[in-house]
Amino acid sequence: MADLSTTYLGLKLRNPLVPSASPLMRKVDNIKRMEEAGAAAVVLHSLFEEEIRHASQQLDYYLMYGVDSFVETAGYFPDLEKYNRGPEGYLEHIRKVKAAVSIPVIGSLNGVSTGTWIDYAKQIQDAGADALELNMYYLAVDPVQNSADVEQMYLDLMREVKAHLRIPVAVKLGYYFTACANVAQRLAQAGADGLVLFNRFYQPDFDLDSLEVLSNLDLSNSYEVRLRLRWIALLYGRVKADLAVTGGVHTAEDVVKAMMAGANVAMTTSALLERGIDHLQTMLADLGRWVEEHEYESIQQMRGSMSQKSVAQPAALERANYIRVLQSYEPRVS
């Protein structure tokens, strides 16, 4: 039987299937079912910086600033009285999950600043989390702020967190960086044990009748995994950090592609929200069957086999592929 085991953030996992942060993680019973269905580890739902800072009058001021003048903008801001579940509750949830399952449990922090956020990173560690995922969700909307400043903010936060923690730390990134490979390398040099590619940015829409901002959540599909595969394949062997694909992982074939690109694990959320937690069993069974039918002995054997590690000039190859795709397309015009 093929060996499906892998390692991620120094953790030995029985397979590369890791359910990522989602509302499913709010219930201990759901996580127990994930373990029974074959999940090798889980990433808990995020504790948001805004939850930690909710009691601050400064945050309340900034949330409300301008809303009275432009009532249409109010829909951009969450109702934190309902939204805030409290950091203490999050820490207690970690303790309950750790007591209920034997697989690694990865905590998640979503934010971009230091201060009290660092304190809660330490408390997540002390509550028993096996690792921490930093979900750095930040959109640079100030025209005065340049890309170097944004990147430095990420690096400073990474160094601060690593300076205070014993457990491994992964960074979940967006894909809007100008020099994504350079940012990845510098984060690894700053101490990141893993890179999670990529965050999914939810785009708001406008309701023109009610003049409200619509915050719809659209689940991913397998098409979205392509962007992740591209960058995992480009970074594999060039950055000293573990790699995780997240976004678009719905089938065993998606998992195989992630491994061949060079990922240590494939994270999935939308597939479980859409098809149920038991879909993990289907993915795992299909993965084992695919590996054996194609005569691979292990996940490790296939890992990185379709990366660009052996390509001297990956940027030139990307350009060549880009040109080939455009030239090969035949439009159907009647």
Q: What is the pLDDT along the chain (334 residues), one digit of tens a residue?
A: 889 999 999 999 999 999 999 999 999 999 999 999 999 999 999 887 766 665 344 444 444 444 443 444 344 444 444 444 568 899 999 999 999 999 999 999 987 666 667 888 999 999 999 999 999 877 777 899 899 998 998 999 999 999 999 999 999 998 888 899 999 999 999 999 999 999 887 778 888 999 998 877 788 888 899 999 999 999 999 999 999 999 999 999 999 999 999 999 999 999 999 999 999 999 999 999 999 999 999 999 999 999 987 655 666 555 555 456 545 666 776 6
Per DSSP, the three-state class of 293 is helix
Is residue 321 in a domain?
A: no
Residues 6 or more apart whose Cβ sits within 8 Å of residue 87:
47, 51, 52, 120, 123
Is residue 171 in a domain?
A: yes
Tell me how crowded residue 5 is: count the other CB atoms within 10 A of its CB. Answer: 14
Query: Which of 1, 27, 5 minimizes the C-alpha distance to 18?
Result: 5
Q: What is the 3-state secondary structure (H, E, C) of 209-259?
A: CCCEEECCCCCCCHHHHHHHHHHHHHHCCCCCCEEEEECCCCCHHHHHHHH
Q: How many Å is the Cα radius of gyration of the chain?
A: 21
Sign of torsion over alpha carbons 67, 204, 248, 279:
positive
CATH number, position 95 = 3.20.20.70
Token duo for residue 22? 């989602």
Query: Which of 90, 89, 88 minimizes the C-alpha distance to 46?
Result: 90
Please report the pLDDT score of residue 204 as a whole number. Answer: 81
Residues 6 or more apart whose Cβ sits within 8 Å of residue 24:
30, 31, 34, 269, 272, 273, 277
Is residue 1 in a domain?
A: no
Is residue 317 in a domain?
A: no
83-105 b/e (C-beta count within 10 Å ≥ 16 → b): ebeebeebbebbeebbeebebbb
Amino acid at 67: V
Residue 154, domain extent: 6-309
CA distances from 289 to 229, 281, 293 (A): 22, 12, 6
CA geometry: angle at 190 spanning 184 and 194, to 5°?
Answer: 55
Is residue 295 in a domain?
A: yes
Please report the pLDDT score of residue 199 as a whole number. Answer: 87
Q: Are 287 and 268 in contact (CB under 8 A)?
A: no
Token duo for residue 26? 């709010």
Is residue 217 in a domain?
A: yes
Alpha helices in the chain (DSSP H): 28-37, 49-52, 57-64, 80-83, 87-100, 116-126, 147-164, 180-189, 225-235, 252-261, 270-275, 279-293, 299-302, 314-328
- Structure-derived torsion over alpha carbons of residues 125, 128, 133, 137, reported in degrees to the nearest 10: -70
Domain count for the chain:
1
Is residue 104 in a domain?
A: yes
Global pTM reads: 0.84
Please report the pLDDT score of residue 254 as a whole number. Answer: 97
Is residue 322 in a domain?
A: no
Token duo for residue 43? 């990433």
